[in-house]
Structure 1
């Protein structure tokens, strides 16, 4: 079993990579050049929003649970990400908000749900053994 310290490090890295993947996929889908640098420019508001969610919920205590950590990080990423995008003159239109809400939800909640399922199944097997 992973120690609580390692669990939050892994979860934070997963969140970072998945938000970067979201940005890179979006930039590639819209044929915008400079996918690497551009992905960071697109991702930073969402990364900052996720960080706000992490801090507000002290998610390092239970980083892999869906509620409240996963949901708070996801909603923080979207709400604060969009606010920061608007504040810095980046595009914030309803279709993009919807895509971000769905995509980041699938990414940030999806791996937590799969992790919870794997842990639950592993514990069941250990009890049977």
Structure 2
């Protein structure tokens, strides 16, 4: 299940968002599930919709995937809150949109940066090995491994 690690990270981040929100209003942070449940339902729906995106390969740690999950989580979470009789005041909508955006898209941006950096350092290492003399075949393998290591969650 290549999708599971990304879903787990997203669930944890939504739970952290809810706990921080409860604590910032001096409410019992232990009741964070009261805040989190609509967003968790929407998060799962967001992952399901992102899985339906056209194109291959589908990567749940990609920026596009994260953007879909973020938008559906915020919009769906607010809608579920309202349908369940809770409120969705404008300041809460703004804060939730920003925080969940930073959380759900942010970790994917960091992961993409690390993958690019790892691939670039692997390519630089391969170029140095080629300039150093006869190749042992490790240069090409190093580049291939660097490219694949960033996508190991697949």
Q: Is TM (by shorter chain) over 0.5?
A: yes
1:31 corresponds to 2:26: yes
Using CA pairs under 8 Å that are at least 6 residues apart, name the structure with larger relative contact order, 1 or 2.
1
Q: Structure 2: how far apart are the matches of 1:47 and 1:104? A: 12
Q: 1:50 Cα deviation (Å)?
A: 1.1
Q: Which contiguous aligned blocks of 4+ residues in structure 1 show a shift greater than 2 angstroms? A: none
2:58 to 57, 61, 64: 61
Deviations 1:33-63 (A, max 9, x none): 2x22x11110111111111111012079311
Gapped runs of 5+ residues in structure 1?
none
Would you tell me which structure has more helix in proportion to its own residues?
1
SS in 1 for 2:91: helix
- What TM-score, normalized to structure 2? 0.75
Q: Structure 1: how far apart are the matches of 2:25 and 2:68? A: 28
For 1:1-129, what aligned pairs fall within 5 Å after superposition? 5-6=1-2, 8-33=3-28, 35-36=29-30, 38-58=31-51, 61-67=58-64, 69-129=65-125
Aligned residues: 121
Q: Structure 2: how far apart are the matches of 1:27 and 1:57? A: 29
Q: Indicate the structure (1 or 2) with the bigger Cα radius of gyration.
A: 2
Gapped runs of 5+ residues in structure 2?
126-154
Compare 38-47 and 111-120 and name the one that shifted more. 38-47
Q: Structure 2: how far apart are the matches of 1:96 and 1:112? A: 24
- What TM-score, normalized to structure 1? 0.88
